[in-house]
Structure formats: structure tokens, C-alpha cells
Amino acid sequence: MRAFVFPGQGSQKVGMGAELAAASAAAREVFGEVDEALSQHMSTLMREGPEDELLKTANGQPAIMANAMATLRVLERDFGVRLAEHGACVAGHSLGEYTALCAVGAFGLADTARLLRLRGQAMQEAVPIGEGAMAALLGADMDKAAALAAAAAQGEVCEVANDNDPSQVVISGHRSAIERAVELAKEHGIKRALLLPVSAPFHCSLMAPAADVMAQALETTPPGTLTLPVYANVTAARVTDPEEERELLIKQVTGQVRWRESVAQMHADGAEEFVELGAKVLAPMIGRTVKEAASRSLVTMADLEAFAKEIV
């Protein structure tokens, strides 16, 4: 059993998708459709930058999705590897859950781009720049991270945002609380804590205004039928019902990304191979979570060709 997975925020970089676009009409079609949906030359921004614009969450979220979907389209059209035939389930990290849903037909490509543009804008506007922060805790498990967050909060928001793998947890909240957590980390037995270069405190209760925005958006653009099940971030459980998934996408804005648990559950349900599309971010996390499973990232045309030769 094979799971296809899709990366989240932080995986964008200038030059992303350029090789695929140069080599494949399928990739160019994806980038063109996203450009049209957003009334923006997103493909140019992805290819040429500037980096500070690409890193903005309102740009980064649809860009990451577009790159992953272009990778999938090339895999399917140019190399004959169809998701529905060669995969058993999908999942995505944070915004990657929208990409996963697009990949299994629950959202159209243009709608996914517009939803992620709105999601990025709403998340950025939920907290004034400079008032929120996130930090990665390396060498931390969930118990240590939760204890640290509780100690650092001191009446402010300091919450676990991402449970990425057995050795990496991310916290999110008010900047002063997150900075206290960084200072207190070693006292809590955590090897290292570092502030992340993000523009907002994602996946914590401070994002409630953004959740309200997405609730309205998903009311008018709800997910449709899924051709494969998705494992949802906030429950780490298999979902096939579009209405259930719509509710979970709303909760995801403020909720914890339970990635480690999602990977473990997919593996427990039979996934023996995990294939990441568009970046090399999730595969290393997966390798640390389920060491007996195979994990790989498909980014370049050579990656896609080699994968296709193995399974077709």
C-alpha cells in the first residue's frame, strides 16, 4: 500500500517548478491555470522571485500547492502513473491537506488556488505582524513540548502547533511567550529551540479570525467526492466524507497538525511506502516516524522518471 503526501509552508523557494515547466506541457498547464485563477503571474514569482514576496504566506501557500500539483500532473500524464491506480490514500501537511484534496478530485485546481490565497491572507491578517511567532523544538516529544508551552504561556497563548516527528515539535503563539519558551527549552530537557522565520503564528488559537473566514469560504466552495481517502491533520484519521472533511479544514486553521500520528496511522492501516510530491520536507520526517517504511521525495524530472520505471 502506497500513500502520497504533500508538503506545507516553508517548502517554497525561488526556482521551484522551473525544470518541470521547461520539460512538460502538463506542468505548464497547471501553472497557467493557477496564474489565471489568481489573476497574478504566480509562475513567474515562483521561477524568478523575489524571495521575500514568495515567502509571504498569501503567495507561498498557492505556490507550494501549484508546484506539487504540477509534479503530480507530470507523473500522471507524462509517465502514466495515476494516483487512483497506484495510491491507497493521501495526506498533506497543513496547506498540503488542500493539495491532497485537489489531487483526489475534491477541489478543482483553480478553486484550490483561490482557497489557499484566501487562507494565507486571512492567517496573515489574524495577528498583526510582530505580535506572533513560532519556534521549532528539536529533540522534543509531545510531553516535553506541552510542558514547556504551559510554563512559557504566563497568561498568553503558547500552544503546540505541529507534531512533526518523534524529535521535532513546533509551538506557536504570542511572540513574547514563544521567546520565553526558547529561553526555557533546555530546562525542560529539550535539545534546541529556534524561532522560525514565519510571518504569523499558525495553528494556534490566535488564528480564530482566519478560521471564521475559511468557514465562510468552504460553505460556498465545499469539497466534493474524494477518489481516495485523506488523513486529516486535526484527527490523524482516515476521512472519506466531504462534509466531515469540510469541518476538519475549518478546525485545522487553529488546530494542531498531528503529522507524526497521521503517518503512524497510515502505516498501521497498511501504508508501506510514502511518496512526497514537490519537495523534500516530509519524507525525512516520515523516515524518523516509521523507520520500517520506505519514503521518498519526487521533485525533479529524473525523480519522476525513476519512480515510474519502478512501478509501471
Any idea which residues carry the catalytic annotation? 94, 203
DSSP H stretches of helix in 185-296 = 208-220, 242-254, 259-268, 282-289
Beta strands across the sheet bearing 192-195: 158-165, 168-174, 132-138, 192-195
Give buried/exposed letters for 194-229 (b at 16+ CB in 10 A, else e). Answer: eebebbbbbbbebbeebbebbeebbeebebeebebb
User: Terminus-to-terminus CA distance in the chain, angstroms?
Assistant: 15
Q: Are 27 and 17 in contact (CB under 8 A)?
A: yes
- Cα–Cα distance for residue pair 39/275, rounded to 1 Å: 31
Q: What would the DSSP string read from start to end of 37-77?
A: HHTS-HHHHHHH--HHHHTSHHHHHHHHHHHHHHHHHHHHH
Of the candidates 271, 263, 269, 268, the one whose C-alpha atom is nearest the C-alpha of residue 236 is 263
Q: Say how far residue 33 (Cα) sits from the centre of its chain.
A: 21
- Between β-strands 192-195 and 273-277, what pairing exists: parallel, antiparallel or unpaired? unpaired
- Between β-strands 192-195 and 132-138, what pairing exists: parallel, antiparallel or unpaired? antiparallel
Examine residue 50 and say whether the peptide bond preceding it is cis (omega within 30 degrees of 0): yes
Q: Are 252 and 9 in contact (CB under 8 A)?
A: no
In the structure grid, which three cell numbers stand for residue 2, read together?
A: 502506497
- Cα–Cα distance for residue pair 152/141, rounded to 1 Å: 17
